Amino acid sequence: MRKTALITGASKGIGKELAFIFAENQCDLILTARSGDRLAQLKEQLEDGYGISVYPVVGDLSLPGAAEALFREVKDKGMEVDYLVNNAGFGDYGLFADTPWHRYEEMITLNITSLSHLMHLFIQEWKGRKRGKILNLSSTAAFQPGPMMAVYFATKAFVLSLSEAVGNELRKEGITITALCPGPTSTYFGEVSKMNASQLVKNVKIADARAVAELGFKAMMKGKPAVIQGSMNKLAPFSIRFLPRKWVTRLSAKVMQHQ
């Protein structure tokens, strides 16, 4: 019987690449994003190209209650989800005090609240079945504070910590949770977050979205707790463990400063 994956933020970037990878592996898809036009185009491409079924859901997971509404719609349609991919998320570049609060409220709702709520809803449904896999998009930002993107870095630290902790709790249930931690990637994220203005993007190699998606898919299928994209990205979280926290924050601030 064909399995089904639910992917949030599926209309572009890593989410879109993951949709193609699941389709290539003959999984039916439930895809959600804010752009109905992009979802409709993606549905046509995937169904025509791979002979699978794609159910698009246009919605904004940065709104309160959106996660439960998505879950209820899936249940009302009688669809069973085997893989949950929490890809939707955004960041913003600038001083914490200079950014309007509503921007952070939307970021926290999307990056933390909706992700956590979808996890909770599907895990409750999956318990006792000895199956189910979750892939959460974290970031290399999860491993240190990030001046100029303070809230975004904090949300990704939350995602990594939650994924590892809940994954440990579920190890006897046959349910796995994987946190994918990419560095800067060739997606629309840099434009939306304005992170393209920082030294970080200027001085590091930008990863390919397809390569990041393939890494995350493989790690998810193997049930790995976390996976970091790129050899240099793997080195950084290890090396900063030996530095005082204030040094790590100052170094991060220097890297994140405006070009």
Task: Give the catalytic positions in this structure.
Answer: 152
List Cα–Cα distances, 105 to 69, 76, 139, 187, 220, in angstroms: 19, 29, 20, 23, 29
Whether the Cβ atoms of residue 116 and residue 163 lie closer than 8 Å to each other:
no
CA dihedral 190, 19, 115, 2 (to 10 degrees): -170
